[in-house]
Amino acid sequence: MSGRQALRQAFRRFEQEVPLWMGGSLRWLRHPASRWVRIPVGLLLMLGGVFAILPGLGIWMLPLGLLLLAADIPFLQKPVARITMAGAERWARFRLWIARR
């Protein structure tokens, strides 16, 4: 599987795990025409993740920012897709574990 295909699959999986409003925003940001919005948003999310100690910001912003940047940076596509898929799988198992309790 190519990096672009793996990243596309990771985006779809991630969109299933987030709230509907965020999934719709991610779908819009994935379009090629949104490139000039996607890159600054990705950078801002990563910057916000660095300041995770402040209210409203969090470490969750780092992977989302990387995911958005990977859409335009080919050497990031496979590693970010792999990490995103693993994280989404762990999140799904955690939610299932919580639901069983």
> pLDDT tens digit string along 16-26?
888 888 888 88
Q: Is-contact 45 62, C-beta < 8 A?
A: yes
- Distance, in Å, from the CA atom of 38 to the CA atom of 22, rounded to the nearest integer, reads 14
Q: Does the CA dihedral 79-22-47-87 come out positive or negative?
A: negative
- Distance, in Å, from the CA atom of 47 to the CA atom of 3, rounded to the nearest integer, reads 25
pLDDT tens sequence across 50-85: 888 877 778 888 888 998 999 999 999 999 999 988
Q: Which domain holds residue 84?
A: 3-100
> Structure tokens of 53?
């100690």
Residue 89 has pLDDT above 80, yes or no: yes
Length of the chain, in residues: 101
Count the neighbouring beta carbons within 10 Å of the beta carbon of residue 44.
Answer: 13
**Residue 92 confidence (pLDDT):** 87
* pTM over 0.85, yes/no: no
**Residue 101 confidence (pLDDT):** 86
How many domains is the chain partitioned into structurally?
Answer: 1
Q: Which of 83, 89, 78, 90 is nearest to 64 (CA)?
A: 83
